[in-house]
Amino acid sequence: MDLTPRTSADNAPLAPRKRKTKWGYVAVLVLIVVGGGVIVSRFLTSAIDYYCNVDEIGVREGCEADRRIRVQGTVEEGSLAADSGTTNFIMIYNNKELAVTYAGDPGGIFQECIPVVVHGRLTGKVFEANRIEVKHSNEYVADNAQRIDDAESQACSPIAG
């Protein structure tokens, strides 16, 4: 610990400090926070959004059909087919359909009637995906025989969001 004696300049009496009001700083801080919030929530939405919906391809900014995009939709019931190592299915969102082909088995909990996000590029009318992520909902339902029967008897309904 350095306890070297102070020089004469250091020993000069300190002038009494004026107590500044902190409200100016608070106002600036509030302005920064509000301004930042508006910029992030209003103007950066299309840049921060993780995916486009099926019905937004070629319509929404950032969802152009000629670029690599991420697309969200629900795997349509009865559309899932595996053919010599390739998985084909139809994604649906807001009554718009998109045919998807994926070289491989998505694995995990991928199945029909589940929302997914596919990464890839639109070639003609088929979306060639090289990555598939399952976007599970915020509903947690016990897995028991009755529930499974109920689920199977119900029609596949796309989840919005």
Partner 1 sequence: MNSTAVRSVGTPSTRLFGLLAIACMTWVVVGGLFFTPADLNQGESVRIMYVHVPTAWVAYLAFIVTGVASAMFMFGKKHSLGFDRVAGASAEVGLMFMAITLISGSLWGRLTWGTFWEWDPRLTTTAFLFVTYLGYMAVRGLGGSPQQRARRSAVVAMLAVLEIPLVHFSVVMWRSLHQRASVLSTDGDIKMDGLMLTTLFVGVIGFTCTFAWLVSHRQRVMAMRDILLATQLDSALNERIAEGSQS
Q: Toward partner 1, which CB reaches closer, 94 or 137? A: 137
DSSP 54: G
Piece in contact with partner 1 (CB under 8 A), picked from 6-14, 84-92, 94-102, 138-146: 138-146
Interface with partner 1 includes 40 (CB under 8 A)? yes
**How far is Cα 53 from Cα 61, in angstroms, rounded to an integer?**
12
**How far is Cα 71 from Cα 49, in angstroms, rounded to an integer?**
11
Asked if residues 51 and 72 have their Cβ atoms less than 8 Å apart, the reply is yes
Piece in contact with partner 1 (CB under 8 A), picked from 82-90, 93-101, 120-128, 133-141: 133-141
Bridge partner list, 99: 90, 126
Residues 57-76 that bind partner 1 (CB under 8 A): 72
**Residue 53: helix, strand or coil by DSSP?**
strand
Binding residues vs partner 1 (CB under 8 A): 1, 3, 22, 29, 33, 40-41, 45, 48-51, 72, 106-111, 114, 117, 131-144, 147-148, 151, 161
